[in-house]
A and B are shown apart, each in its own frame.
Chain A
Amino acid sequence: DAKTTQPTSMDCAEGRAANLPCNHSTISGNEYVYWYRQIHSQGPQYIIHGLKNNETNEMASLIITEDRKSSTLILPHATLRDTAVYYCIVSRWRDDKIIFGKGTRLHILP
């Protein structure tokens, strides 16, 4: 079973920052937080991952709380193409299979 809790859905205005929360209160010390998304009719797509420190790449930023029990994925300037289901996943680095939960359905509003 997934070890994370996410809101079922969220709306965000186009051009604004989308902040997607995730709770993972039972995360272990050797587990990473990963984010994937699935745009309609496509396969899942990796976004970002982190262990303790905040991370940023060309797609998004990941903010992990100091106690690591929750995190937030930030899409800095959301576009309509960011409409998707976003999955927060907790996994050890050496785990090979991805355990997807229900995710958050993000709607970007024009």
Chain B
Amino acid sequence: EAGVTQFPSHSVIEKGQTVTLRCDPISGHDNLYWYRRVMGKEIKFLLHFVKESKQDESGMPNNRFLAERTGGTYSTLKVQPAELEDSGVYFCASSPRTGGTDTQYFGPGTRLTVL
């Protein structure tokens, strides 16, 4: 069974540009989560999808970040325009059911560098 995949693995962009990160969850997982770690900080929750609906987006830092999950399959996280403080590693996780912290399966992350 394929795990959670994320694309790209690395992205280097300049301040003001747009970047779109993609996450493919494990097939059949209705729940999809985005987290990120900025340099020197802890991993922070960004948002949670149940199928195509946003269940909790309390961790989204500002309106430069837009997450979508059309059709309830893969998800994208767009940063527009990117700022220096957006640099970090963005993780995606999926789980087969709501509730149950043990069932979140994480992808390898996308390392974003904003210059």
Contact = CB atoms under 8 A, between A and B. Distances in A.
Given A96-B33, A100-B43, A89 B101 contact: yes
Interface string A91-110: 10111111111100000000
Interface in B78-98: 91, 93, 98
A42 B42 contact: no
Contact of A2 (B42, B56, B100, B106): B42
Most chain A beta-carbon neighbours within 10 Å: one of B4, B35, B56: B35
A49 B102 contact: yes
B11 to A, nearest CB: 15
A44 B43 contact: yes
Contacts of A32: 101
Contacts of B93: 43-44
A38 B105 CA distance: 12
Interface residues of B, number: 26
Given A96-B48, A99-B45, A43 B91 contact: yes
Given A44-B91, A89-B101, A101-B42, A96 B55 contact: yes
A86 to B, nearest CB: 13
Nearest to A94: B99
Interface of A: 2, 32, 34, 38, 41-46, 49, 89, 91, 93-102
21 contacts: A2-B42, A41-B108, A42-B109, A43-B91, A44-B91, A46-B104, A93-B101, A94-B99, A94-B100, A96-B31, A96-B33, A96-B56, A96-B99, A96-B101, A97-B33, A97-B56, A98-B33, A98-B35, A100-B35, A100-B42, A100-B44
Q: Which 6 A-B pairs have the closest CB atoms?
A: A43-B106, A97-B45, A100-B43, A94-B99, A44-B106, A91-B101
